[in-house]
Amino acid sequence: MGIGGISIWQLLIIALIIVLLFGTKKLRSVGTDLGGALKGFKKAVKDDDEEEEKEKEKSDQEQIAEMDSDDDSAAEAAAKAKADAAAAEADRKKQSTASTRNEHSDKS
């Protein structure tokens, strides 16, 4: 049995009738046109896939850059907080020293 209940002999007879009706040149040009259309379709699908891949890579790079800038901002904030704490500690030491000097000068 062939395709869908049609035997090989029946398929050959149908192919012979098509060749007699259209001729080999017409069938060859139809085949060439069909092949060209398939190549064009495959190329378009491939180009779309490449564009999607490039867009995905670009968005990934943007996310990485954003994460890096967030990390930099966090590091800058931590450094600023550390510097502020050090300045506050220095102010406390100055005030403590000044108040100690004032106490000693008051007692004298």
- The confidence score (pLDDT) of residue 96 equals 76
Is residue 70 included in any domain, yes or no? yes
Distance between CA 41 and CA 25 in Å, rounded? 24
- The confidence score (pLDDT) of residue 34 equals 92
Range of the domain at 11: 3-101
- Sequential pLDDT tens for the chain (108 residues): 556 788 899 999 998 998 899 888 888 898 899 999 999 999 998 888 888 888 888 887 887 777 766 666 777 777 888 888 888 888 888 887 766 666 666 655
Nearest to 81, CA basis, from 66, 89, 70, 69: 89
Tokens 């080999």 — which residue? 24
Is residue 108 included in any domain, yes or no? no
Is residue 107 included in any domain, yes or no? no
- The confidence score (pLDDT) of residue 70 equals 64
Is residue 48 included in any domain, yes or no? yes
